[in-house]
Each structure stands twice: as C-alpha cells, then as structure tokens.
Amino acid sequence: MVNRFECELMKKINSGENLSMDEYQKVSVIAKEEIKFLVRNGIALTPLNYFLWFDIFCYLNETGKKLSDPEIIGLFKERYPDESVIETAILKINRADRKIVRQIAEEVSREIDEIIVSLDSHSETIEKHVKSVEKTTEELPDRTLKEMLENVVQALNEIKSQNEGLKAKLQESKKELENVYERLNQTEKNVLVEFLSEIASKRSFEKVLKDMFADFKARNYPFAILMVKLDNFDRLVEKEGEKAGKIILQEIARKFKKLLRANDIVAYYDDSVFGILIPGVTFGHAIRIGERIRKSVEDSIISLNGKTIRVTVSVGIAVARKDMDEMDLIAKALEALELAEKEGGNAIKTDLDVELEK
C-alpha cells in the first residue's frame, strides 16, 4: 500500500541524488498546492505535517489526479493508517537530501507571505468600503435603509476581523517553518517522541520560558520549572531495545499531560529528559506537583511485549527569581536534577537543595 503513493521525485529526494532545475521547479509547484490545501483545511503547518502531506501531493502531481479535499484527506488516511507507518515516514527525513527539505520549506514560507499580502490587500479594500458605506449611511433619511447598511458594515468588519485572525495564524506557522531545517536535524528519538506524544519541542519550550520570564518580571507572576529524567534509561534501552525505549517515553509523556493542567507546558527537552513549565505556583506547590509526578510514575505499569515494566524518575525543581534569566533557571533545575540522580534516583531536589549542598 505504501508503494502505491510513492512518486519518482520523492524516490530521488530520498536517495540523495541531485535534482535538475525542472525538478526544483516541480518541488515549488507541489509545495504551493500543498500549502493552499493545508490552509484551506485548517491543518497545522508544522514541519512534520508538511513533510507527510508533501508525499501525498507529490503523488497527485505525478499521476495527474484531480481530487476534492475530502478525497485527498481520504488518501492521507490510507497512506498513513497508523502510527507505525507515520513513524517510518518520519525516519525517512534523516535520509532525505537536506537541501531539498530546505527548498520545500522556503517555497511554503514564500507562499504564506503571498497569502498574507493578499489578506492585507483584502482588508484595505474592506476598510475603504466600510468608510464609503458609513458615509452613505449618515446621509440617508430612510431608517430602514440605514439599518440595512449598518448590517453591511457589521458584516464587512467581521470579515476584516477574520482576515486578521487568519493572518496571525499564518504568521505563527511561518515562524515554525523557518525553524524546519533545525528541527529536522534533531535526533530521531526527539522528533518521534514530540510528534507521536503531541508534546512541545525543546525550542518551543525555551520560547515559552522566555515569555514567562518577561511576564514574571513585568507582573511578578510566579512560575516553576521541573526537569524530569527517567532513571537508568540507557540501561533499560540496552536490555529492552530502542523500540521499547520509545514506547516508554511516549507513555511517560502522555502520563505527564494527563497529570498536569491545560496551561502547563510539557516538552521533550533532551535525551530521556522532559521539561515542564508550571505557571502561577509557589515553591511549596511546585514541590507537591513534582512529588505527584514522581509517585505517579513509580506506581505506573507499562505493558511491553507481553511483560510489565516499572520505571522511576528523578525531578529537579527551580522557581523563577528576579535575579535570574531563563537560562539561569534551566541550569538551576538541571543541577537539582543531577543532585536527585546522585542520591540514587526516584527523588526530588530543588535549587535550594543544591545551594545547601555547596
């Protein structure tokens, strides 16, 4: 089934062969069609999404098929029926020619720019119409006509507001796309855990942390950072295998998401290390949350290949202070995590514990 969707261009890209100018142009055409589809259907313009959908649009381009959006979505579901197929496709990224991946990202980014310019132009036209209609409304003696035109003005303003909302979403997506090359150079494990567990990337985590710090310094709104590491994870992977390690990371990531609030941020920060940002908490509250996480993992049973596995975590905690910046806070939490590991794991330590040790 997978081979049915593979086109010659994708084969060449994945093999690492150099592309001709015509093939570069073909990449551009496919990327433009893809981005229009993703925007139309409200599909997030994340690097992994656009890579997966490019496969579909490459196939459609070479076969000349003209399908409706629901039919294309149906193709996607057929192409990627479950996580294992998606995982295989993601791993191909590391064998693809990086220059082509960058080229596709640039084409998508340019297409977003064109859409934004078009939205701006449309909004300017609407603004002119609104002013014209408002002027006409003021001069009309008939109350009924006035009410009709006032409704027109309201409708035009709503369209303008929708344009601004779409523009903001596109700009946000463009920022994510600008980081696509760096994201694709992450380790396979990081990419898979983030994608399959639907948690934040390290880069996103650090961006949110920077925003939280700015808010903390402006409004004194407290927050804490937790660094959580699976104990003896390398040994576990050696014993059970890489696939088992990935499954365990996914299960732990999902557990964190269930334990925490909607506005808490969970990210895969580094090799077997998760970063958690918790806004609006005091030092004592952060410790209680860390203990809840530690105990919940300790009590968990993970089913793997017909047997059960238990894991534990070490937790390092630091709370924002005015004399820190975001990198100081990360360093403090990682030092606390290291101290927890030194004491045998399955423990919680804070930046204050680190200070007392010194």
Kindly report the number of other CB atoms within 10 A of residue 142's CB atom: 9
Of 4-8, 210-214, 233-237, 265-269, minimum mean pLDDT range: 4-8
What is the per-residue pLDDT for 188?
46
Nearest 10 degrees: CA dihedral of 274, 278, 281, 287? -10
d(CA 331, CA 355): 13
**Mean pLDDT over all residues of the chain?**
79
- The DSSP code sequence of 189-239 is HHHHHHHHHT-B-HHHHHHHHHHHHHHHHHH---EEEEEEEETTHHHHHHH
Token pair, residue 81, equals: 């029926």
- Predicted confidence at residue 20, as pLDDT, reads 77
User: For residues 225 and 6, which has the higher predicted lDDT (pLDDT)?
Assistant: 225
**pLDDT tens figures, 17-73:** 677 777 777 887 888 788 788 878 777 666 667 778 888 888 898 888 888 888 888
DSSP secondary structure string for all residues of 132-146:
HHHHHHHH---HHHH
Going by pLDDT thresholds of 50, 70 and 90, the confidence category of residue 95 is very low
| Rounded-to-5 percentages of helix, strand, coil across the chain | 70, 10, 20
Is pLDDT at 142 greater than 90 in this prediction?
A: no
Residue 91 pLDDT greater than 70, yes or no: no
Query: pTM to 2 decimals?
Result: 0.52
Residue where the block lists tokens 């238990």: 310
DSSP H or E stretch at residue 251: helix 242-259
pLDDT at 2: 44
322, 355 Cβ separation under 8 angstroms = no
338-357 per-position pLDDT tens digit? 999 999 999 999 999 998 88
pLDDT of residue 230: 95
What angle in degrees, to the nearest 10, is found between the helix axes of 98-139 and 47-63?
Answer: 90
Give Cβ neighbours of residue 287 (< 8 Å, ≥ 6 apart).
317, 348, 350
- Residue 330's pLDDT is 94
- pLDDT for 83 equals 64
pLDDT at 97 over 50: no
pLDDT digits (tens, 9 = 90+) for 197-233: 567 777 778 888 888 888 888 888 899 999 999 999 9
The answer to which of 109-118, 189-198, 300-309 has the lowest mean pLDDT is 189-198
Kindly report which listed range (20-24, 194-198, 255-259) carries the lowest average pLDDT score: 194-198
